Amino acid sequence: MTSARKQAAETMARIDVVIEVLDARVPEAGSNPLINELRLHRQRPCLKILNKADLADPAATKAWLNFYNAQKDVKAVALSCKKPGDATKVPGLCLALAPHRGTSLKPLRMMIMGIPNVGKSTLMNALLKRRAALVGDEPAVTKSQQSFDLNDHMTLIDTPGLMWPKIEHESDGLMLAASHAIGRNAIIDEEVATFLADLLLAHYPALLSLRYGFAVVGMDGTDVIAAIAKRRGYLIKGGAPDLEKAALMLLQDYRSGALGRISLETPSSRSDMLNVAQEPQ
């Protein structure tokens, strides 16, 4: 990651627009502050793509678009990079942010950035209409920068997923883990699933009941995991519930959208979290 950060800083000097790909379900938790720091240092405009918008809560996504579009030199859009029709909008949106570029003499130079597993390579492949970048449902598939000519007046640079050295807020780390931006070797599935279940109980209890077929009134996250194990018949030797298997089921159902359209944060919940974090302990 240190090498990737250094390379990104050098490349930033040679590009016109930053395309920051975010997971629409966790846009601020998954926004690397280094990207904003590098961009502002070079005074580069930014197109923020809220990817996986088809998995996110539409009301939360609308609130995030309003939040980002109020920022200077920022344009935010909600897309699903797996849909080619959505991806085709990106070059035009970038050109609007740098209208002095986009000719054969002055090509528009765009750099795709973001944390691991948010869909950067999927966007790249959709724009190029071929499998030029490796894609996988695991963090950190792209290992190095890759540059491609989109046409004779537009160039794209794909970058490795950039994580920052220390995630400041524990809830951010748990939201990123739930959304699969952090590899399984760095997390405990049951802990992440319990956090996710507690959040779903607070904001989407009906979706939990609908998916798993049990009433959630009076439950906490741990109860939800145990109830999923019981409902699905996940047992270990001796008949005890297989909590690890149930935790993985919940995480996979959230990640795939099987639970429904869910967002783990909104601008207001983010503001509340930051306010609490700043209170004297």
Q: What is the pLDDT of residues 200-248, one digit of tens each?
A: 999 999 999 999 999 999 999 999 999 999 999 999 988 999 999 999 9
Round to whole Å and give the CA distance between 242 and 234.
5
- Which range among 9-13, 25-29, 242-246 shows the weakest confidence by mean pLDDT? 9-13
User: From its phi and psi, is residue 159 left (phi > 0), alpha (psi between -120 and 50) or beta?
Assistant: beta
| Cα angle, residue 68 at apex, residues 66 and 205 outer, rounded to 5° | 65
The whole model's pTM is what?
0.90
Domain 188-274 top-level CATH class = mainly alpha
From 159, 187, 162, 161, select the one nearest 175 (Cα to Cα): 187
pLDDT at 73: 95
Question: How sure is the predictor about 46, in pLDDT bands with cuts at 50, 70 and 90?
Answer: very high
CATH code: domain 2-158 is 3.40.50.300
H or E segment to which residue 146 belongs:
strand 146-151
Chain centroid offset of residue 193 CA? 17
Q: What is the pLDDT of residues 148-192, one digit of tens each?
A: 899 999 999 988 888 887 888 999 999 999 999 876 666 789 999
For the chain, give the number of residues: 281
Sign of the dihedral through C-alpha 222, 226, 231, 232:
positive
pLDDT in tens, 51-92: 999 999 999 999 999 999 999 999 999 999 888 788 899 999
Domain ranges of the chain: 2-158, 188-274
Residue 39 has pLDDT above 70, yes or no: yes
Q: Is the pLDDT at 134 greater than 70, yes or no?
A: no
pLDDT of residue 132: 63
